[in-house]
Amino acid sequence: MADVKRLIGRKFNDTIVQNDMKLWPFKVTAGTDDKSAEKPLIVVTYKGEEKAFAAEEISSIILQKMKSIAEAYLGKKVKNAVITVPAYFNDAQRQATKDAGVIAGLNVLRIINEPTAAAIAYGLDKKGVGKGDSASKNILVFDLGGGTFDVSILTMKEDVFEVKAVNGDTHLGGGDFNNRMVGHFAAEFERKHKKDLSGNPRALGRLRAACERAKRNLSSATETSIDIECLFEGIDFCSSITCARFEKMNMDLFKGCMELVEKCLKDAKMEKGDIHDVVMVGGSSRIPKVEELLQELFNGKKLCKSINPDEAVACGAAFHAASLTGACLGVNKDVVLVDVAPLSLGIRVYSGAMSVVIPRNTPIPTKMTQHNYTTAVDNATSVLFPVYEGEMPIARDNYFLGGFTLHKIPPAPKGVAKFDVCFEIDANGILTVSAVLVGSKNRDQITITNHSLRLTKAEIVRMVKEAEEYQAREEKRKKASEAGNALENYIYRLRGTLSKFGNSKKNK
């Protein structure tokens, strides 16, 4: 199972989900009841029976494993956590990630963007944090991971990390490069053996794993081969791929990354020469062609590889968690993070257009108010305020977050009643929208936490209980396995002892 990050917070009928389902070696279905009909569920076989899991549950299992690793290392319980997400995650995806943390039994202190966390790690590496370094430095974080791509531009000065702009694609990463290779080799298999393996999840899974290994090999070799025994219907499959061929089949994706970098520079109102360091993060940032294109974009500038691209985000998040809680001696609690809203937020007006209240790349936390919204029809006694997130000019083409209605409006000709609409985003990116009838105390609001894709409190409680049960069963299985291994070792030692005893008796 993979790519859970591409499912979390998305709808089952999302075009991206539907396209990915054709490539995944596991089954994804829609929810069974009216409430969860839009929610994608991952079907797995557990103890001989099929069970459907929400993406939040799968993510929570991963978080639980990380929690247990940390507890084993520290020798004490871990309750609090800072969780990172791609910078371009929308509200639904952030909320779903927070729910995953709750299911895992964690108190989520903060949700922060992955490039921001990487920038903190970079700051620690450069010894600029808490060391009295007064020089301001602009850094661009290029974060190309397995499933998502983010680019962020930050200004770092002493203990302040201020995000200037973010851009990215929540559906661009190493998995997409793998998919191109899987498609290439599946077509080659069909051409050679006249058999289509695309409908066989097991064969696709084995081919994908081989393509992942080949991709990694091509970061340090000009050619590599794949060799899979009994790939499909007993047929062995052997082939090879050159670095040049791999680059050609993915060139449009690599160039797409560079285009997003240029857009981010434009949003930050900076020139290429204003960037002091380009920090490489994420496993896919090791691809030689990606490095080459990025270096060309910045006129031959040397890329910063001083931090481990696989660990940078985790290190930065850990430091931020320590700074929030004061858990470590010597950690400066005055480190300030100023992040931004990755997408524009606004309301749909009567014409259907998107009226933006908070433009994207606005520093958060923030509170912004738009004045002089009016009624669009005569004698209206209530007004609906639908809230959307996105960059499209037509509201329905953006992501619907929720809505509320302001009632008890005195009847009057259209345009007479006026409203102020206020959007407020907290440090976790959680949005509260309110509207007030000007000249009155008539006010209503909505906190965007309960949209259709979000788990209910009852569902979260159920999933927490199930997660605890799975963990208990896993502990039981682990103990049984350890006991079995101990017994096997005892029998092995006993046989050795008896053998020595028998030999010594013969010698006598």
Q: What is the pLDDT of residues 313-328, one digit of tens each?
A: 999 999 888 888 876 5
Q: What is the pLDDT of residues 61-82, one digit of tens each?
A: 999 999 999 999 999 999 999 9
Q: Give the Å distances, CA to CA, from 253 to 144, 177, 420.
A: 11, 8, 43
At residue 460 the predicted structure's pLDDT band, cuts being 50, 70 and 90, is: low
Q: What number is the average pLDDT over the span 338-367?
A: 91
At residue 504 the predicted structure's pLDDT band, cuts being 50, 70 and 90, is: low
Q: Give the Å distances, CA to CA, from 191 to 185, 207, 431, 465.
A: 10, 16, 53, 50
At residue 492 the predicted structure's pLDDT band, cuts being 50, 70 and 90, is: confident
Q: Which residues contact 99 (CB under 8 A, 6 or more apart)?
A: 56, 454, 455, 460
Q: Rounded CA gap, 370 and 390, in Å?
A: 18
Question: What is the predicted pLDDT for the residue at 163?
Answer: 92
Question: What is the predicted pLDDT for the residue at 131?
Answer: 46
Q: Which of 18-22, 231-235, 417-421 has the lowest mean pLDDT?
A: 18-22
Question: What is the predicted pLDDT for the residue at 237?
Answer: 94
Q: With 70 as the cut, is the pLDDT of residue 142 above it?
A: yes
At residue 129 the predicted structure's pLDDT band, cuts being 50, 70 and 90, is: very low
Looking at residue 343, the DSSP 8-state letter turns out to be S
Residue range 174-250 forms a domain whose CATH class is alpha beta
Pairing relationship of beta strands 383-389 and 399-406 according to DSSP bridges: antiparallel
Longest CA span, the chain:
117
Looking at residue 285, the DSSP 8-state letter turns out to be G
What number of other Cβ atoms are within 10 A of residue 356's Cβ? Answer: 19
Q: What number is the average pLDDT over the span 209-221?
A: 94
pTM over 0.85? The answer is no
Q: With 50 as the cut, is the pLDDT of residue 130 above it?
A: no
Smallest CA-to-CA distance from 67 within 108, 106, 110, 113 is with 106
Give me the CATH topology for the region 343-437. Answer: Substrate Binding Domain Of DNAk; Chain A, domain 1 (2.60.34)
Q: Give the Å distances, CA to CA, from 352 to 372, 392, 395.
A: 17, 11, 6
Q: Where are the domains of the chain?
A: 174-250, 343-437, 456-507
Q: Rounded CA gap, 255 and 239, in Å?
A: 27
Average pLDDT, the chain: 86
Q: What is the pLDDT of residues 157-174, one digit of tens each?
A: 877 889 999 999 988 999
**Burial state string for 173-195 with b = 16 or more CB within 10 A and e = fewer than 16:** bbbbbbbbbbebbbeebeeeeee
